[in-house]
Structure 1
Amino acid sequence: MFSGILFALLSAVLLGVYALPSKYTKGFAWENTWGGFFFFGMFVIPTIITFLLVKDLWAIYEQIPSWVFFTMFGLSFCWGIGNILWGYSINSIGMALAFSLFLGVITSIDTILPLILVPEGQESVIGTEIGNIMLFGIGIIVSGIALNGYAGILRDKSKGKDNEEKDTKTIRQGILFCVLGAICAAGFNLSYHTGNNLGGIGEIAEIQFGNEPWIARLAVLLPIFMGATISTMLFFSYRLTKNKTWGNYTKSGALTALVLVIAMAVFHDSALVIYGLAAYHLGELGTSVGFAILETGAIMVATFNGILTKEWKGASKKSKTFLGISLVILIIGVLIIAKGNYIKIQENNEVSVNLKVE
């Protein structure tokens, strides 16, 4: 379990820093940076790496029922849409509120549903002592995320960033887009849970075809990336055409910006591959525990990045106090769900020992 937590934390660090290079893509419009990121991160890199490293990829997929791929594709298509909606909501309600709303909703969905959707032959922990511990920990994490967002709102107010009045309709629309985006974006972890836990892609790739655990998880991730590729590329192609910004890719200095975009994609994809390893090492509840640690850790890393890049310079003492409290609450929440996962692993070990004795 300890190695699983370490993998989840490493994944969180990479996820927390992947967007940092986007601040320095000079000469690129928003759609140039993020359209390039999704193209390399969702299609080019995953396709090349998976086909190069995974042994007998098509033979692995032949073992999997078709409903698994249809479900994964649909959920990951929604994941792409969710990220687009979130991007739109930022302009309406601001980064702080959008970030806390988005992650609060997505963390709730992506940590609770895997506890309910369990493979055939396994029992859900919902309603048990372990389940109660897990749900309590998730609640703590969501409250920490909300407080983190509130700290961001206080920071922006203290720095005079909210002087422009926004009409109620715009704010409501922004909140609606953000919540809908979070619901759609929950498709990533649910798609991974479907492919790995319900469909058994990772296990088949590892046990039947002799792939290393981290390589086996690439076979799980590829169908997820393909669904998100279609939804995001449709949107960004439209945006680039509408704003006539395709030409930015050929301007002077574009190569440097493109290298930064590719770096973003590498960090992001590495985070998801390592997350797959974390879920594997965390055991039966891995897609719940691992995702909670991933999102919580990413928030903390992103917060520290904001401090290092002076986003909190000039912020009020009150906003900084709430920021510190929110980070402590997030750590407590992670420790609680880690405790629940530890108890579950111990129970499984006891059952295995009893079966061997019998």
Structure 2
Amino acid sequence: MTSIISGIGWHTVGAASAASFYAPISKVKQWSWETTWAVAGLFSWILLPWIVTWFLVPDFASFYGSIAGKAYLAMFMFGAMWGIGNVNYGLTMRYLGMSLGIGIAIGVTLVVGTLLPVIVNGTFMHLITTKSGQITMLGIIIALVGIAVVTYAGHQKEKILGKTAEEFNLKKGLILAIFCGIFSAGFAFGLNAAEPIKEASLHIGINPLYAMLPSYGIIMGGGALINFAYCIIRLAIKPELSIRNDMSFPVKSLLINGILAATGGIMWYLQFFFYAWGEASIPQNLSFVNWMLHMSIYVLCGGLVGLALAEWKGVGSRPVRILCLGMVVIVVAANVVGLGMAAN
């Protein structure tokens, strides 16, 4: 039971980092979103995963040489799938707005990333026919209800504050949100494909908390390819966007922007760093709940961060009460999943 509690705790730390990563990025001035995102991604998807791996793995050649090539291909392709989800995420916000977009996308990601690996592994029937599995499934359903309540509260906030999507289009937005949710679950599939690296890490004596981290450079590399390509293409074809313009400001401004973007990227990476700790703390036969915990607690922490940053100021008490109700439901969901795991 102690390991389950610590696992939920580490997932909470990671989700809190994910929910807060955009705070420093939003402070970047005079840079295009594409340049800011690329700089943040350089730290998040490239530098930190490989720096951490460099500290963990004493001999890259022998370590990675012991892994079958098809495992690398699966991890990289699932990472690219996750990267496509990231691009769709931004487009979802464009057509649905932040609250509806995040709520629908996270809800789909939670379901797909949690249940599809179980179905593929052939353990879904065990999940729905055992007492522990049924309790855990109940927790997943409660989490979806909590996400829906938080999403509704956020939508009410946007209406009251007059914040609408740039080009609100429900049909386009829903399609993109569903695609975002499906493709973003690629990271969960990538982790599932990374079991050979986890086993190799444990074999050479790497602490179980860090055993999954050497796979991140490959999974995130796939995502980086998609995101960097998107940013570069946008900068190349949009006349109002230009790296030259973004780099034309005084050195002090460039340094401040770089630090802010890098900080956001580091915080984004830390969500998965602590995800690995949470995953290592959850019993292996219950590993499918890791993605559910991460996604639902992500929404919970996003609500808390929004309250802390006074984003709900001036909306009145009703939307805030609805938000708090949704967050309570998500906390209940995490506890129900914990009970389901304990009953295993």
Quick check: TM above 0.5?
Answer: yes
Helix, strand or coil at the partner of 2:94: helix
Matched residue, 2:198: 202
Q: Distance in 1 between matches of 2:113 and 2:106?
A: 10
Matched residue, 1:352: none
For residue 194 of structure 2, what is the amino acid of its counterpart? G
Q: CA deviation at 1:88?
A: 1.0
Check the 8 A contact 2:18/2:267 in 1, yes or no.
yes
Matched residue, 1:299: 299
Q: CA deviation at 1:285?
A: 4.3
Q: CA deviation at 1:226?
A: 1.1
Q: Please, which of 210, 219, 231 is the counterpart of residue 215 of structure 1?
A: 210
Matched residue, 1:108: 111
Q: Distance in 1 between matches of 2:126 and 2:214?
A: 26
Structure 2 matches for 1:314-325, cutoff 5 A?
314-325=314-325
Q: Distance in 2 between matches of 1:320 and 1:157?
A: 13
Matched residue, 2:235: 240
Say how many residue pairs are matched: 336
Between the aligned residues of both structures, percent identity stands at 24
State the TM-score, normalized to the length of structure 2.
0.91
Structure 2 matches for 1:243-262, cutoff 5 A?
243=238, 244-247=241-244, 248-252=246-250, 253-262=253-262
Q: Distance in 2 between matches of 1:188 and 1:286?
A: 18
Helix, strand or coil at the partner of 2:162: coil
Matched residue, 2:188: 189
After superposition, the C-alpha distances for 1:52-76 in whole angstroms (9 at most, x for unaligned) are 4322333233333322222211111
Q: CA deviation at 1:117?
A: 4.0
Runs of 4+ in 1 over 4 A off after TM superposition: 164-167
After superposition, the C-alpha distances for 1:101-140 in whole angstroms (9 at most, x for unaligned) are 01100011112223334499x9953432222112111111
5+ residue gaps in structure 2? none
5+ residue gaps in structure 1? 345-358
Q: Distance in 2 between matches of 1:76 and 1:134?
A: 27
After superposition, the C-alpha distances for 1:185-212 in whole angstroms (9 at most, x for unaligned) are 100011112212xxx3212212x21222
Matched residue, 1:172: 171
Q: Distance in 2 between matches of 1:205 and 1:54?
A: 8
Q: Distance in 1 between matches of 2:128 and 2:279?
A: 19
Q: CA deviation at 1:85?
A: 0.7
Structure 2 matches for 1:1-358, cutoff 5 A?
1=3, 2-118=5-121, 124-162=126-164, 170-196=169-195, 200-206=196-202, 208-243=203-238, 244-247=241-244, 248-252=246-250, 253-344=253-344
Check the 8 A contact 1:43/1:229 in 2, yes or no.
yes
Check the 8 A contact 2:40/2:266 in 1, yes or no.
no
Over 3 Å counting, the alpha-carbon distance change for 1:123 and 1:195 in structure 2 is farther
